[in-house]
Amino acid sequence: MSIQRFLALATVCAASLSCAQAGPVQPGQELSPAERSALTEGSTVQMGRQQFQILVPAVRPKGAGAASGETWLVNEQGVVGRSTHEVLVAQADAVAVQAVVASGVLPPLVQASYGGAMRLTTLRFASFADAVRARAVLVQRLPSAEVTVPVQYDSPRAR
């Protein structure tokens, strides 16, 4: 084993140990490149111009995971965020969104809430990847709508 490879491996192990000792990650926390490579699943999810990596279950807060309806991820800048797999569709009639949903081109829905007069629809999916795929379809099918997959980079606090 070369010295460079050994040092890279030692850095990743140290980052992994320090994160494990520090406890779970929090939204808004910045991870170093070594921590990102050690603490993510390796695959990348592309959403528009943004790329995200999914965090491994061991570093997520207790109770946060697939069963909780959340995905913990890291953006390109190394900032930790969380998604509840929601797609928000604004400035589109509920009937138009329902037509896209009924066409069967979206991944299976977990929950849908149509805003009617407010022209805001919330669609929830089983995974972050499903929400991102649905966003891409909705952007294409409803070009005048604003379609987003919110990622939260801070923790809610009482005022």
Task: Answer whether 39's CB lies under 8 Å from 59's CB.
Answer: yes
pLDDT the model gives residue 29: 94
pLDDT the model gives residue 9: 43
Q: How far apart are CA 115 and CA 141, in angstroms?
A: 19
End-to-end CA distance of the chain: 54
Helix-helix angle 128-141:94-102, to 10 degrees: 120
Fold of 86-148: Alpha-Beta Plaits (3.30.70)
Residue extents of the structural domains in the chain: 26-82, 86-148
The pLDDT profile of the chain, 159 residues, written as one tens digit per residue, is 445 444 444 444 454 444 444 468 889 999 999 999 899 988 899 999 999 999 988 776 665 555 568 999 999 999 999 999 999 999 999 999 999 999 999 999 999 999 877 889 999 999 999 999 999 999 999 999 999 999 999 876 666
